[in-house]
Structure 1
Amino acid sequence: MEPEPPQPPPAALATGAVARHLGVSPTTLRSWERRYAIGPARREDGRHRRWTPGDIARLELMCRLTAQGVPPSEAARVARATDPGAFADPVEGVSAGVAPGAPGGPRALRLGDVRPECRGLARAAVRLDAQAVEEQLAGVLAELGLITAWEEVIAPTLHAVGRKWASAGERYVEVEHLLSWYVSSALRRIRPAPEPLPAPPVLLACAPGEQHSLPMEALAAALGERALPVRMFGADLPADALREAVRRTGPRAVVLWAQSRTTADNALAGSLAGIEWGPRGARGHSALLLAGPGWGAGSAVPAAAPPPPPARTERLFGLRSGLAVIESVAAGRAPATAAGRAAPAAYGS
């Protein structure tokens, strides 16, 4: 029997890829190597760092220890002297070398099958490493673009943190607040097109009592990139103020976000859909676009609610497909219902 051919060594990663995986900056990795001798086992051509799975597992252990308040020098000493496979990953709750999704500890932040950038962002958020969170967000927005970064990295991380917060009482609420703050800051740094199109604006608002505004901030940034005029009113806009804003701005479309069934008010939706604006004899209507999981089956409807809104009211399902609907409305076409339902719901936090 012929001997089996030797197995190739595990792939080694460059410093930038390891930094994205861990949710730290490349500068931090180089600093740890210089100060605490926790560096890669090999280099190519004597210069380029290449981190093996064992190197990365030790770095993961150091990240976990420093996140728990252990001084970096002591964390590095423990990481160098300990088999890192015995420690669980705080993002997935699994040991090094175990497939993601395996059972983990009660502190695990479950992400499932996601992009590596998503895991890096989650790890930085769990450590409350503000600089790394900011750098991770800037990197994915620059490399992937707003829509892909939101749907495949930012939103899944926000969802995972929100689920963990909901299941762990008050724990992890600080992670959600820190991550939300830096996501909002990153979205507002996205520059809109220099000259908006000469068209009526799109009005974006959260339903009264609704505090989750990040999905509308992402939508506002995406519309700005496409040169579509936007009026962003943010969280918890009172119903009377929202109706008055529609009358004053004469928008092409109104996007109303509701994260939960308690804030999804069909009576408000009906009144918005019925608003007419403009001078007598030239009245106009706005398309009403309902976004967010709160508008699903069973959303809150007052006992004296009016009949369902007219046909010009549509649902949005996801940032990418929602943009297609809004662009068709802005172009003067009827809302594209099929396009709006073509993608899974990727909004939300």
Structure 2
Amino acid sequence: MPTGAVARHLGVSPTTVRSWERRYGIGPAGRRPGHHRRWSPADIAVLEAMCRLTARGVPPAEAARVVLAGEGAGRRTDPPAQPDAPAATAPAATGPGGSRALHVGTVRPECRGLARAAVRLDAPEVARILQEVLAALGPVDAWTEVMMPALRAVGRKWATDGEQYVEVEHLLSWHVATALRAAAVRPEPLRALPPVLLAAMPAEQHTLPLDAVAAGLTERAVPFRMLGAAVPPRALLDAVHRIGPGAVMLWAQSPQTADAGLVRHVVHAVWGPRGSRNRALVLATGPGWGRSDHPEGTAAPRSLLSALDLIERTVTA
């Protein structure tokens, strides 16, 4: 593979790849003078090891020492490469989006590493990063500072590049959902509180934010019931009456899936014996609900942390 294609595979810039070759000698093992760089699978394995180490916060010089010593990729003891002829112009990426690198902006190193691993379709590395950030940061900060920025970057790239990028979005979303759902399962019993009902609107298929809420509730030992995506109106209302929740969170990703009429039915739903009727706090959440026409009688927290704080105050009151 030429340098440009390798860079797109790794989710870094071609300049970074050439800089590592120039500074640390991480270049194609079989390169011949006067010929353009061509990276073999073994060469690319070294770069992948370099990417993993730098994503974990290892300084590039130290990462290079490790991989060249064979600790990161199992090969390569070549001396540093000398300055060489200008590299060939990398082939342009297909589609209108250009480079396959994700532009995540100013974020934590873990988020940048997660985005690069997703671009490489490096599932073990994606899983490792998610597991470590959840353990180190907890679900709220892991979602807000690592997962959500990477997912948004994938979404922007997908919108620009079309179907050729959907594999990255699917892989990252699956692993994020898997990590959050694992964090939402706790062997010890939760507090004896009215459960929180989590559901997406009948036409809504996106549930990752609800998975983040579930993980956050578990961290606070608040019980919940997850109904997931595309909950039919009758099923949702039946669940409210059967469970008697302390709070109901309804998610809509887009205005097309936001059903204000159904939300009003949930707001007015009551249960319990006569004389002691109960109602739940209803949270209409997600970008599908506009600020100016938010359903009456519902709460509209603007972040995961504020939603969790509001729910905990409500169900423990």
Fold match (TM-score > 0.5): yes
Residue 108 of structure 1, CA deviation: 3.8
Residue 83 of structure 1, CA deviation: 8.0
* C-alpha separation in 2, matches of 1:322 and 1:242: 20
- Does residue 21 of structure 2 align to residue 34 of structure 1? no
Q: Tell me if the contact between 2:139 and 2:216 (Cα under 8 Å) persists in the aligned partners.
A: yes
User: SS of 1:35's equivalent?
Assistant: coil
Q: Tell me if the contact between 1:277 and 1:285 (Cα under 8 Å) persists in the aligned partners.
A: yes
Residue 283 of structure 1, CA deviation: 1.1
> Structure 2 residue aligned with 1:115, among 105, 108, 115?
108
Change (3 A) 1:231 1:33: closer
Q: Tell me if the contact between 2:102 and 2:116 (Cα under 8 Å) persists in the aligned partners.
A: no
> Structure 1 residue aligned with 2:196, among 198, 202, 214?
202
- Does residue 268 of structure 2 align to residue 319 of structure 1? no
Q: Which residue of 1 aligns with 2:54?
A: 18
Q: Which runs of 5+ in 1 are unaligned?
A: 1-9, 42-76, 91-103, 302-307, 333-349
- Does residue 204 of structure 2 align to residue 164 of structure 1? no
Residue 316 of structure 1, CA deviation: 1.9
> Structure 2 residue aligned with 1:212, among 202, 206, 212?
206
* C-alpha separation in 2, matches of 1:170 and 1:21: 32
Residue 331 of structure 1, CA deviation: 2.0
Residue 36 of structure 1, CA deviation: 3.1
User: SS of 2:230's equivalent?
Assistant: coil
Q: Tell me if the contact between 1:256 and 1:289 (Cα under 8 Å) persists in the aligned partners.
A: yes
User: Structure 1, residues 137-183: CA drift from partner, whole Å, max 9, x if none?
Assistant: 11111122211111000010001101111121112111010001111
- Does residue 213 of structure 2 align to residue 228 of structure 1? no
Moved over 6 A (4+): 80-84
- Does residue 164 of structure 2 align to residue 177 of structure 1? no
Q: Compute the RMSD of aligned alpha carbons.
A: 3.2
User: SS of 1:119's equivalent?
Assistant: helix
> Structure 2 residue aligned with 1:147, among 129, 140, 144?
140
* C-alpha separation in 1, matches of 2:85 and 2:116: 21
Residue 298 of structure 1, CA deviation: 7.3
Q: Which runs of 5+ in 2 are unaligned?
A: 1-22, 24-49
How is 1:237-316 mapped onto 2 (pairs within 5 angstroms)?
237-297=231-291, 309-310=296-297, 313-316=298-301
Residue 281 of structure 1, CA deviation: 2.2
Q: Name the one with the larger helix percent.
A: 2
User: SS of 1:192's equivalent?
Assistant: coil
User: SS of 2:288's equivalent?
Assistant: helix
User: Structure 1, residues 216-235: CA drift from partner, whole Å, max 9, x if none?
Assistant: 01111110121111000111
Q: Tell me if the contact between 2:55 and 2:109 (Cα under 8 Å) persists in the aligned partners.
A: no
Q: Which residue of 2 aligns with 1:138?
A: 131
Q: Which residue of 1 aligns with 2:315?
A: 330
* C-alpha separation in 2, matches of 1:213 and 1:82: 51
Equivalent position amino acid for 2:286 in 1? G
* C-alpha separation in 2, matches of 1:83 and 1:325: 59
* C-alpha separation in 2, matches of 1:82 and 1:140: 42
* C-alpha separation in 1, matches of 2:182 and 2:286: 24
